[in-house]
Amino acid sequence: MQVCLGSILQSYTGGRGEVTATGRTVDGVLKDLDRQFPGLRFRVVDEQDRIRPHIHLHCNDAMVHDLQQRVQARDTLHILGALSGG
Amino acid sequence: MPSSKRPRRAPLRRVLLVGTAKGAFLVWSKGRRWEIEGPHWLGSKVHDFRLDPRDGRTLLMTSTGGHLGPTVYRSTNRGRTWREASRPPAFARLARGRKKPGADGTSRGVSVAVNFFLAPGHAREPGVWYLGTSPQGLFRSEDGGDTWKGVNGFNHNPTYWKWSGQGQVGTPDGSFLHSIRVDPRDPKHLYLSMSQGGTFESTTGGKKWAPLNAGVAMDFFPGPPREYGHDPHCMIIHPADPDVLYQQNHCGIYRLDRRTGDTWDRIGKKMPKRVGDIGFPIAGHPRDANTVWVFPMDGTERWPRTSPDGRAAVYRTQDGGKRWQRLDAGLPKEHAWWTVKRQCFAVEDVRPQPALVFGTTSGDIWRGANGGESFERIAEHLPQIYSISAARL
């Protein structure tokens, strides 16, 4: 599936804002991303498997709240820095 | 994984490693001038930035990004190139099937919010580092800061909840584990302080811990003296005598000589009453165990955390706290509405007398030659300064 990354994460992907990854769930996709780009998952999800407070995940145009949410190959996952104040 | 580069520089120049609210800087001595390099990792909060004194080339800095959470950056070539730690500090997960943490020696189920304090390990343990976090936790690396594990004798200690007031976040910036000190005579003899909990000691390399707070005031808590729950701001093993500890606490300045007992003596009572003995940093003279410096701040009424009356001054004792001298030559005589945080005092061990260097919440760096007898501003307009350490690279 296609994964679109906000600028805050592009230092992990060599400057690329769009990459591809595979997985049956959002967490599976994040783990595949981490294999390709070491360290990226821990910037999105903390050690208790909670999405970091100022990170937003969207599958297509719907916000993701559960890392076990299933995804399809044709979906697009967006990983963005949240608008967190003024 | 991100990396950054800077050109190679000649070795063994005096340099200040500066962590700020917006990134890290190296401030190089260049004759009588100082030259700023940076920022590195612009946009990261760098709470601590240290050189490994054992190999003279490994540098570590903590980082907390606005969105991306906490991590550690490291350089193994004196700061020419940087990489992120492969496994930054992270608390263990809650035990399987458990929804809430227990006080049974297993994980508290919390997540690191801030990597706050760095301490190189003992001289006989190359590659070992310790790191303190918020929520208050202790971590150890055995590979020069690349991978980190929790010190579970502390992090999972069943008594942790009592020590730390049920793990509340605290105000205004959270509660921090800091002042991790290793006895230079024994790598298993450790101290640490928690801004919500007090000072603790381990003689087992971190497996077991005991509070070390007798004699320390808790003005913010009613009732008789307690064994823990205190608010040390900065605690040091004096560099000239490992049996002597000093601390700047939320409730005063203290000294403890381990040869004479385990009860702290409030040496801040001898400070001028109009100044008080509240502050954050404390630093010791490299060769004189009776000399320490503090930077008092206004801890009255609403705790504005500024220089008392807006008049900046360092105070120094040269007799273990019996008398204090005000050192303010060169510092602003008015409108110094800033202070100095706990990791922002550094001592440059130069001869004949060391220089005291400090960074302010307003982004300036001041250097007091000859033990602080006269100060000059060597950098200005930096972001709020979180840490300073003196090194040679």
Report DSSP letters for B198-252, one per residue.
EEEEESSTTSS-EE--TT---TTS-SS--SS-B-EEEEEE-TT-TTEEEEEETTE
Q: Cβ of A37 under 8 Å from any chain B Cβ?
A: yes
Q: Using alpha carbons, list the distances in angstroms from residue B150 to B3, B68, B133, B143, B181.
A: 25, 21, 11, 14, 17
| Phi, then psi, of B172 in degrees rounded to 5 | -90, -15
Residue A50 contacts B where some CB pair is shorter than 8 Å = yes
The per-residue pLDDT for range A1-43, each reduced to its tens digit, is 999 999 999 999 999 999 999 999 999 999 999 999 999 999 9
- pLDDT value of position B90: 97
Domain count, chain A: 1
The C-alpha of B90 sits at a distance from chain A's nearest C-alpha, in angstroms, of 6
Instruction: Classify each residue of B85-107 as buried b or exposed e, where b means 16 or more C-beta atoms within 10 Å of its C-beta.
Output: bebbbbbbebeeeeeebeeeebb
Q: Which residues of B touch A55 (CB under 8 A)?
A: 67-68
Q: Which two tokens stand for residue B81?
A: 């190139």
- Does the beta-carbon distance from A48 to B66 stay under 8 Å? no
Task: State mean pLDDT over A44-50.
Answer: 95
| SS3 state of residue A36 | helix
The answer to whether residue A19 sits within a structural domain is yes
Domain boundaries, chain B: 212-335
Using CA atoms, how far residue B240 sits from B74, B145, B246, B279, in Å, is 29, 27, 12, 23
Residues of B in contact with A37 (CB under 8 A): 1
Q: pTM for the full model?
A: 0.94
Rounded to the nearest angstrom, the minimum Cα separation between A20 and chain B is 17
Structure token digits, residue B42: 């612009």
Task: Residue A65: give its domain's CATH number.
Answer: 3.10.20.30
d(CA B298, CA B314): 13
**Is A38 at the interface with chain B, CB within 8 A?**
yes
> Is A58 contained in some domain?
yes
Sheet holding A76-81, edge to edge: A18-20, A2-5, A76-81, A55-59, A62-63
User: How close does chain A come to B110, measured CA to CA in Å?
Assistant: 7
A84 within domain boundaries: no
Question: Would you call B65 an interface residue with chain A, using a CB distance cutoff of 8 Å?
Answer: yes
Element (H, E) at B34: strand B33-40
Residues 6+ apart with CB under 8 A from B113: B64, B69, B70, B133, B134, B135, B174
**B66 touching chain A per CB within 8 A:** yes
**B222 min Cα distance to partner chain A (Å):** 36
CA distance B190 to A47: 27
Q: State phi, psi for B10 to the nearest 5 degrees.
A: -65, 145
Which residue in chain B is spatially nearest to A54 when comparing CA positions?
B67
Task: Give residues 80 to 119 of B whose Cβ lies within 8 Å of A.
Answer: 84, 86, 88, 90-94, 109-112
- Per residue in B81-130, pLDDT tens? 999 999 999 999 887 777 666 667 788 888 999 999 999 999 999 999 99
b/e per residue B255-265 (b: at least 16 CB within 10 A): bbeeeeeeebb
Nearest to A48 among B1, B71, B109 (CB): B109
Nearest to B69 among A12, A52, A84 (CB): A52
Q: Shortest CA distance to B282 belongs to which of B327, B323, B249, B256?
A: B249
Closest CA to B368 of B378, B376, B359: B376
* Residue A19 lies in domain: 2-79
Quick check: A55 and B67 CB within 8 A?
yes
Mean per-residue pLDDT over chain A, rounded: 95
Domain-located, residue A54: yes
Closest CA to B246 of B153, B179, B343: B179
Residue B105 is predicted with a pLDDT of: 78
A6 is a domain residue: yes
Closest-CA residue of B relative to A80 is B67
- Contact: B67, A38; criterion CB under 8 Å: no
The set of long-range contacts for B260-266, using a CB threshold of 8 Å and a minimum separation of 24, is B262/B212, B262/B214, B263/B214, B263/B215, B264/B213, B264/B214, B264/B215, B264/B216, B265/B215, B265/B321, B266/B215, B266/B216, B266/B217
Residues in chain B, pLDDT under 70:
1-11, 99-103, 166-172
ipTM of this complex prediction, to 2 decimal places: 0.92
